[in-house]
């Protein structure tokens, strides 16, 4: 072999080894080199015995085999019978012997997707049983067990019963049929429509596996800005192929329904939901889909929002539209997820108030297989938003929350921002719907209003990039979303700890500081982009980088100036009683807190109030100084993140270490860009000097205004 070829092949080998790590997500199953640990595990496991032979169980069995033998060094054998001692027994409860069933205890403490992992004695021999009511529960139990081993947790005397708290735990892909992804920053869509249905990309299987490992059980394959073609036989055949891949992993396929599809692909003259032909068209379409995909989940619909067609085009309302579709899928057990993301160019009202104003009067009017999908906040996936007031106001309607995992407004896949911190903040917010402690989590998991249909949706950050999500740490947002959809009461710290151990290393010297860095990263992005309740001041269209000066867009509420309202007197959007009175959409306890300048949480101050530049913050600083210092704090936080990461090289493979290092360098530069551009712009109104400790910009405001990003991704 020539020297050059040797070098090339060496580079290729080292690239692929590292790239594989990037690709393997949190399912690394690294070999455990700590001999004591390995011995401890092997004292408890020698073999795996499976009862049952469904595809789902086979997947679980293979996963245990792969995971344990990778981690413990090929010491675990698969057995066909329960013999010897120290086995892991897997199977649904009813497939197990009565003797084992008796040891498991009460299976009714879990639901159909739940699992029990228990150390038991059978004929005086130690066994670990992983069981559930159904095989999908067993599979979830297996992933949970493997997570314990991956993160060096003890597996002695196990007695775990766990079950998802929501029914629909779903990714929303904003993937177009040409494979571009709206707001996608990790390459193109995974769905290769041209090669489907005959070519099954290994990626589909790996995608399903990753989702199952965190309990995600649904996927909407297509963009909410929908294309009716997906409902034609040509595409449904391809959807069917994907559904077949995902089924054994417990994942149902859903599609977005373009409301005007009866016209566009059905040849009808109208899409009026009260028209008999239209109703019939959807009924037939549903029957056609269910014939191919008997467990099809249903439709997600964006109607009369941002130019999408909907029932209002025919003088009907959201209830008419949703219920008509609900009737079409009801005979097959399907669900309609109807989005409440609406605001109108014809409504001069505060955009933040419009969805509530439109939907709350419909409370109790939707059919029982409709769930209304509400974004976490009333504007649009900002670095920080107060929880959406609809969560406190529709007790008779199932509401599911929609989070955005893809970082449209949070630095794309370039910035490291750990989103479970944001998700947790919203889920833990108290709506006071039925007094203190009635949190958003309790609304959406159905415990508050005894809602049967429950769900959590996350706008996916997945694409065909080698590492799936663009930024290695954006994988943690996919992971964290799944974990919170399973259990909306989990805390971000636990999730960061789990993810780091499974993805990188169990070494405490790595996990502790890096987990702290992840936790801090959310507040950092708020500080350097939109501190103190500022929002939607990103540049136009693509939403990357600052654009507080933008004021020339056709719809007022698309302009950042609409949101920050900076002038000589101060800054912020007055949504209190003296302003748009959006505060009145919250329960009285919350309304009072937000409405009063003195009690409004400072991190949401400028969301609810127009505040004078000289207003005194709790720390004694004037608003102007406080704002400037927050921007600087954001920059300093990113510098601190860099310091932490730079010390991790010995725990992380070269490639991922360098990827993150480079990305953090960009993030640092861009945090300064945000600080400088925003402060120079707002300074025109405050007419005040920067306080001590805030660095001065080396560029002019005109320079920042001149920056253009014509080919920004995801737009």
Q: Which is nearer to ligand GCV, 222 or 506 (CB)?
A: 222
Q: Confirm if 680 and 697 have CB atoms less than 8 A apart.
A: yes
The Cα–Cα gap between 416 and 285 comes to 43
Q: Confirm if 529 and 383 have CB atoms less than 8 A apart.
A: yes
Beta-sheet strand order (sheet of 115-122) = 77-79, 47-50, 87-90, 125-131, 115-122, 159-162
CB of 166: closest distance to ligand GCV in angstroms?
A: 20
- Site string (333-352) toward ligand GCV, x via CB under 6 A: --------x-----------
Given the residues 22, 408, 445, 595, select the one marked as catalytic: 408
Segment holding 660, helix H or strand E: helix 654-686
Whether residue 670 lies in the annotated active site? no
Q: Check binding of 544 to ligand GCV (CB under 6 A).
A: no
State which of residues 174, 185, 479, 594 lies at the interface with ligand GCV (CB under 6 A): 174
Whether residue 508 lies in the annotated active site? no
Distances (CA, A) of 547 to 385, 552, 563: 19, 12, 12
The Cα–Cα gap between 427 and 454 comes to 14
Q: Which is nearer to ligand GCV, 302 or 353 (CB)?
A: 302
The Cα–Cα gap between 698 and 112 comes to 60
- Site string (177-216) toward ligand GCV, x via CB under 6 A: -----xx---------------------------------
Q: Which residues pair with 343 in a beta bridge?
A: none
Whether residue 237 lies in the annotated active site? no
State which of residues 96, 224, 399, 623 lies at the interface with ligand GCV (CB under 6 A): 224
CA atoms within 13 A on the CB side of 58: 4
For the chain, give the number of residues: 715
Q: Which residues pair with 374 in a beta bridge?
A: 401
Q: Which is nearer to ligand GCV, 302 or 564 (CB)?
A: 302
CB of 224: closest distance to ligand GCV in angstroms?
A: 5
Q: Which is nearer to ligand GCV, 220 or 484 (CB)?
A: 220
The Cα–Cα gap between 300 and 644 comes to 42
CB of 663: closest distance to ligand GCV in angstroms?
A: 23
**Among 69, 82, 80, 88, which Cα is nearest to 30's?**
69
- Estimate to the nearest angstrom the gap between the alpha carbon of 637 and the chain centroid: 24
Distances (CA, A) of 612 to 262, 306, 366, 535: 53, 34, 44, 17
CB of 465: closest distance to ligand GCV in angstroms?
A: 20
- Site residues (CB under 6 A) for ligand GCV, limited to 383-442: 408
Q: Which is nearer to ligand GCV, 40 or 540 (CB)?
A: 540
Given the residues 306, 363, 491, 493, select the one marked as catalytic: 306
Q: Which is nearer to ligand GCV, 224 or 690 (CB)?
A: 224
DSSP state of 273: T
Segment holding 193, helix H or strand E: none
The Cα–Cα gap between 250 and 139 comes to 9
Number of Cβ within a 10 Å radius of residue 448 = 20
The Cα–Cα gap between 392 and 382 comes to 20
Q: Which is nearer to ligand GCV, 182 or 320 (CB)?
A: 182
- Joined together, the tokens standing for residue 245 give 């891949």
Annotate 397-455 with three-state secondary structure. CCEEEEEECCCCCCCCCCCCCCCHHHHHHHHCCECCECECCCEHHHHHCCCCCCCCCCE
Q: Check binding of 225 to ligand GCV (CB under 6 A).
A: yes
CB of 381: closest distance to ligand GCV in angstroms?
A: 7
Given the residues 22, 380, 595, 659, select the one marked as catalytic: 380
Distances (CA, A) of 514 to 91, 97, 473, 639: 37, 45, 11, 14
**Residue showing tokens 């290695």:** 472
Q: Which is nearer to ligand GCV, 197 or 541 (CB)?
A: 541
* Size, binding site for ligand GCV by CB under 6 A: 10
Segment holding 336, helix H or strand E: strand 335-339
Q: Which is nearer to ligand GCV, 174 or 204 (CB)?
A: 174
Q: Which is nearer to ligand GCV, 183 or 318 (CB)?
A: 183
Q: Confirm if 354 and 389 have CB atoms less than 8 A apart.
A: no
Q: Check binding of 302 to ligand GCV (CB under 6 A).
A: yes
Catalytic residues: 306, 380, 408
Note the residues at the interface with ligand GCV (CB under 6 A): 174, 182-183, 224-225, 302, 306, 341, 380, 408
């Amino acid at each position: 072999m020539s020297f050059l070829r040797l070098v090339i092949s060496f580079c290729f080998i080292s690239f692929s080894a590292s790239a594989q790590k990037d690709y393997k997500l949190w399912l690394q199953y690294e070999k455990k080199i700590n001999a004591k640990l390995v011995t401890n595990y092997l004292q408890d496991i020698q073999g795996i015995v499976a009862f049952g032979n469904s595809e789902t169980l086979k997947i679980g069995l293979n996963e245990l085999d792969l995971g344990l033998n990778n981690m413990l060094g090929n010491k675990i054998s698969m057995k066909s019978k329960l013999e010897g001692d120290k086995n892991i027994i897997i199977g649904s409860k009813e497939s197990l012997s009565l003797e084992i069933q008796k040891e498991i205890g009460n299976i009714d403490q879990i639901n159909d997707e739940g699992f029990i992992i228990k150390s038991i004695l059978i004929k005086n021999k130690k066994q670990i049983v992983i069981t559930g009511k159904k095989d999908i529960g067993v599979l979830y139990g297996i992933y949970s067990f493997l997570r314990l081993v991956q993160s060096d947790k003890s597996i002695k005397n196990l007695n775990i019963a766990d079950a998802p708290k929501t029914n629909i735990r779903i990714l929303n892909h904003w993937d177009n049929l040409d494979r571009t992804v709206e707001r996608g920053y990790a390459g193109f869509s995974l769905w290769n429509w041209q090669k489907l249905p005959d070519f099954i990309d290994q990626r589909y299987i790996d995608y399903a596996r990753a989702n199952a490992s965190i309990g995600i059980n649904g996927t909407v394959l297509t963009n909410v800005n929908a294309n009716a073609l997906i409902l034609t036989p040509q595409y449904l055949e391809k959807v069917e192929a994907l559904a077949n891949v995902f089924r054994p992993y417990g994942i149902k396929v859903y599609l977005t329904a373009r409301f005007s599809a009866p016209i566009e692909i059905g040849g009808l003259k109208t899409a009026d939901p009260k028209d008999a032909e239209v109703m019939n068209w959807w009924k037939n379409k549903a029957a056609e889909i269910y014939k191919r995909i008997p467990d099809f989940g249903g439709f997600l619909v964006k109607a009369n929002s941002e130019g999408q067609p909907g029932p209002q085009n025919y003088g009907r309302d959201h209830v008419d539209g949703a219920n008509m579709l609900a009737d079409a899928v009801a005979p097959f057990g399907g669900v309609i997820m109807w989005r409440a993301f609406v605001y109108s160019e014809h409504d001069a009202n505060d955009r933040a108030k419009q969805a509530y104003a439109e939907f709350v009067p419909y409370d109790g009017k939707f059919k029982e297989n409709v769930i209304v999908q509400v974004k976490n906040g009333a504007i649009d996936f900002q670095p920080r938003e107060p929880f959406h007031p609809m969560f406190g106001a529709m007790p008779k309607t199932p509401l599911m929350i929609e989070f955005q995992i893809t970082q449209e407004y949070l630095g794309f896949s370039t910035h490291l921002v750990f989103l479970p911190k944001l998700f947790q903040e919203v889920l833990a917010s108290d709506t006071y719907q039925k007094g203190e402690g009635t949190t958003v989590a309790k609304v959406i998991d159905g415990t508050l209003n005894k809602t049967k249909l429950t769900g959590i949706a996350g706008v996916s950050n997945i694409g065909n990039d080698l590492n799936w999500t663009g930024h290695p740490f954006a994988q943690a947002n996919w992971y964290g979303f799944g974990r919170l959809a399973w259990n909306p009461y989990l805390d971000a710290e636990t999730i960061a700890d789990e993810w780091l151990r499974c993805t990188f290393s169990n070494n405490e010297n790595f996990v502790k500081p890096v987990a702290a860095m992840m936790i801090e990263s959310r507040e950092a992005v708020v500080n350097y982009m939109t501190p103190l309740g500022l929002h939607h001041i990103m540049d136009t269209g693509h939403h990357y980088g600052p654009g507080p000066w933008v004021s020339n867009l056709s719809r007022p509420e698309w302009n950042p100036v609409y949101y920050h309202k900076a002038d000589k007197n101060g800054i912020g959007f007055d949504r209190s009683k003296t302003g748009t009175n959006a505060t009145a959409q919250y329960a009285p306890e919350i309304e009072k807190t937000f409405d009063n300048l003195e009690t409004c949480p400072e991190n949401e101050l400028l969301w609810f109030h127009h505040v004078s530049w000289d207003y005194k913050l709790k720390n004694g600083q004037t608003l102007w100084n406080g704002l400037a210092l927050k921007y600087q704090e954001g920059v300093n936080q990113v510098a601190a993140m860099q310091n932490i990461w730079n010390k991790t090289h010995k725990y992380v493979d070269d490639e991922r270490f360098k990827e993150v290092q480079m990305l953090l360098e960009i993030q640092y530069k861009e945090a300064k860009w945000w600080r400088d551009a925003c402060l120079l712009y707002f300074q025109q109104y405050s007419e005040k000097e920067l306080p001590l400790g805030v660095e001065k910009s080396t560029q002019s405001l005109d320079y920042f205004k001149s920056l253009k990003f014509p080919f920004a991704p995801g737009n």
